[in-house]
């Protein structure tokens, strides 16, 4: 079958998909540009308690199963474009989603949200595991000295064993949440400077990725949460939501982690100031979605404003997002040195740290705060942490779709817990 024949069959597939509602519109459109040899990356959700039947049917049809996601009853697959309609007719399949493409979206910052006050009171996130699903984590001195706090690393991109970051974004994010300021005498320490970091590389060296890799990383986090006391998952990444919330793989997976007791924090996105620009998984109702504040490089929050680039709500159904905002402009955190492959070295301060802006910088601020809360109250569930974060905020001069409940305030949280 050539592309022309494929185009002739497309209307038939389209009518079936629309009637049954089982195929993502994005996948249907992709069939227009592929011939019979072309393959589609997709995520297939099975009906409840029919996962094994679905798996066997896929195998019998010769569909390549790349990853299995038992925590959301789904499979990441590669399927020939010509077979998409046939696969959709499997009774055990609930929905076939596109494997959507995603992208990566402290001194002053940590003081502005009250983290330094918490640190001085003895709350540093010690023993709490923060999983950073991103471009990887580089063994920066602020994470491995005087003690190595990168307690685990899993690579879904290149299958390498030791921690590394060929982009730098994940390392920066990890530093905002849990850097200890070793290279700066504590000046550029993150929010939870004694928390453990679990690096899960799900993004490429170009800061790009796919839903299947990210969900695979989330499955790994759930499977190993007891091994490394993983209580928090930080997702400083996102993609435009095109389908419904209950059929989006990143939303379904984020909600599943939350229900299993893992606090999930996600970046709102950097497509503001237009409304309705929150990215997935930040659109997930249950998790905490974080927008970015410009703190004007001052500790006093009275001059803070929501960053112009910070994505705004509402999300589908009129839900107000983001939930809260945190510093996300001109934040200083860990740099990734490309010459670090031979082990730790001494660098100038200029090379050890970097400056970055974005909601992907704001999200790990809240991840670090969650670690401080869990250190004091290990029995807290994700909903308990979210309640505290939303209750204790500083209102800014912005509407709810820009600031959510406002600027997070760790000092006020400490007064309650």
Which is catalytic among the residues 323, 360, 392, 409? Answer: 360
Distance between CA atoms of 352 and 346, rounded to whole angstroms? 9
d(CA 225, CA 199): 13
Q: Are residues 108 and 90 in the same domain?
A: no
Q: Are residues 38 and 160 in the same domain?
A: no
Q: Which DSSP string do the residues of 140-197 spell out, in sequence order?
A: -HHHHSSS--EEEEEESSS--SS--BSSSHHHHHHHHHH---GGGTTTT--SSTT-EE
- Res. 3: pLDDT tops 70: no
Catalytic residue chosen out of the listed positions 169, 236, 310, 333 = 169
What confidence tens digit (pLDDT) does each residue in 186-204 have? 999 999 999 999 999 999 9
CATH number for the domain that contains residue 299:
3.40.50.200
Rounded mean pLDDT, 231-239:
96
Q: Is the pLDDT of residue 5 over 50?
A: no
pLDDT in tens, 8-49: 444 444 455 444 689 998 898 888 777 666 899 999 999 999
Helix, strand, or coil here: 203? coil
Tell me what percent of the residues of the chain surpass a pLDDT of 70: 88
Question: What's residue 9's pLDDT?
Answer: 42
The mean per-residue pLDDT over the stretch 47-68 comes to 95
Whether the predicted pLDDT of 82 surpasses 70: yes
| Residue 129 and residue 246 share a domain | yes
Average pLDDT, the chain: 89
Residue 12: per-residue pLDDT? 46
Q: What is the pLDDT of residue 118?
A: 86
For the chain, what percentages of helix, strand and coil (3-state, to nearest 5) are there?
40, 25, 40
Q: State how far the alpha carbon of 229 is from the alpha carbons of 111, 127, 366, 367, in Å.
A: 27, 8, 18, 15
**pLDDT grade for 69, boundaries at 50, 70 and 90:** very high
Q: What is the mean pLDDT of residues 321-345?
A: 79
Domain end (from 99, 132, 156): 99
Backbone angles phi, psi at 199, to 5 degrees: -85, 125
Q: Which residue among 98, 99, 107, 134 is the active-site one? A: 134
Let me know whether 260 and 218 are in one domain: yes
Please name which of 43, 41, 51, 47 lies closest in space to residue 80, comparing C-alpha atoms.
Answer: 41
For residues 116 and 76, state if they share a domain. Answer: no
Q: Is the pLDDT of residue 307 over 90?
A: yes
Phi, psi angle pair for 234, to nearest 5°: -110, 125
pLDDT bin (cut points 50, 70, 90) of residue 400 is very high
Q: Is 392 annotated as catalytic?
A: no
pLDDT given at position 32: 77
6 pLDDT above the threshold of 80? no
- Which of 75, 99, 123 marks a domain boundary? 99
365 and 296, same structural domain? yes
Res 343 pLDDT > 90: no
pTM: 0.90
Whether 78 and 130 map to the same domain: the answer is: no
Mean pLDDT within 337-357: 64
Q: What confidence tier does 112 reach under pLDDT thresholds 50, 70, 90? A: low
Let me know whether 60 and 160 are in one domain: no
What average pLDDT does the segment 202-224 reach? Answer: 96
Looking at residues 83-106, what average pLDDT do you find?
90
Q: How many domains does the chain have?
A: 2
The pLDDT score that the predictor gives to residue 2 is 40
Give the structural domain span for 54.
3-99
Kindly state whether residues 120 and 181 are assigned to the same domain: yes
Give the residue from 99, 130, 151 where a domain finishes.
99
**134 annotated active-site:** yes
pLDDT (mean) for 384-396: 96
pLDDT recorded at residue 338? 54
Residue 265 has a pLDDT of: 98
Of 349 and 217, the one with more pLDDT: 217
Same domain, 147 and 48: no
Model confidence at 117, pLDDT cuts 50, 70, 90, reads confident
4 or 115, which is more confident: 115
Residue 344 pLDDT > 80, yes or no?
no
169 catalytic, yes or no?
A: yes
Q: What is the dihedral of CA 71, 73, 79, 81, to 10 degrees?
A: -120
CATH code, domain with 24: 3.30.70.80
178 or 35: which leads in pLDDT: 178
Q: Both 121 and 179 in a single domain?
A: yes
Residues 290 and 141 in one domain: yes
Helices (H) and strands (E) in the chain, counts: 16, 19
pLDDT tops 50 at residue 73: yes
β-sheet bridge partners, residue 165: 136
Average pLDDT of 136-153?
96
Q: Is the pLDDT of residue 115 over 50?
A: yes
What pLDDT is stored for residue 103 in this prediction?
85
Residue 352 has pLDDT above 60, yes or no: yes
Strand, helix or coil for residue 52: helix
């Amino acid at each position: 079958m050539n592309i022309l024949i494929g185009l002739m069959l497309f209307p038939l597939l389209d009518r079936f998909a629309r009637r049954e509602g089982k195929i993502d519109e994005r996948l249907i459109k992709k069939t227009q540009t592929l011939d019979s040899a072309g393959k589609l990356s997709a995520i297939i959700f099975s009906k409840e308690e029919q996962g094994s039947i679905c798996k066997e049917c896929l195998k019998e049809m010769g569909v390549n199963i790349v990853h299995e996601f038992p925590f959301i009853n789904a499979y990441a697959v590669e399927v020939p474009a010509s077979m998409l309609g046939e696969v959709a007719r499997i009774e055990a399949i609930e929905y076939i989603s596109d494997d959507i493409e995603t992208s990566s979206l402290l001194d002053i910052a940590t003081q502005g949200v009250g983290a330094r006050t918490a640190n001085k009171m003895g709350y540093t996130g010690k023993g709490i595991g923060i999983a950073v699903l991103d471009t990887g984590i580089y063994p920066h001195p602020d994470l491995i000295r005087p003690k190595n706090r990168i307690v685990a690393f899993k690579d879904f991109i290149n299958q390498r064993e030791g921690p590394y970051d060929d982009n730098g974004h994940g390392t920066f994010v990890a530093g905002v949440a849990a850097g200890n300021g070793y290279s700066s005498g504590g000046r550029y320490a993150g929010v939870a400077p004694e928390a453990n970091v679990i690096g899960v590389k799900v993004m490429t060296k170009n800061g790009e990725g796919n839903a299947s890799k990210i969900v695979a990383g989330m499955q790994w986090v759930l499977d190993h949460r007891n091994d490394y006391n993983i209580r928090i998952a930080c997702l400083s990444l996102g993609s435009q939501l095109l389908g419904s919330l209950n059929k989006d793989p990143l939303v379904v997976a984020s909600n599943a982690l939350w229900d299993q007791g893992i606090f999930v924090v996600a970046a709102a996105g950097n497509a503001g100031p237009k409304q309705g620009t929150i990215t997935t998984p930040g659109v997930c109702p249950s998790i905490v979605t974080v927008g970015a504040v410009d703190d004007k490089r001052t500790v006093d929050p009275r001059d803070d404003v929501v960053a112009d680039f910070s994505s705004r709500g509402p999300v589908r159904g009129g839900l107000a997002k983001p939930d809260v905002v945190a510093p996300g402009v001109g934040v200083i955190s860990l740099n990734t040195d490309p010459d670090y492959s031979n082990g730790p070295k001494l660098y100038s301060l200029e090379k050890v740290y970097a400056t970055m802006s974005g909601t992907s910088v704001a999200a790990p601020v809240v991840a670090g705060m969650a670690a401080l809360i869990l250190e004091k109250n290990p029995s807290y569930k994700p909903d308990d942490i979210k309640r505290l974060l939303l209750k204790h905020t500083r209102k800014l001069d912005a509407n709810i779709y820009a600031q959510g409940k406002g600027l997070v305030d760790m000092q006020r949280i400490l007064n309650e817990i």
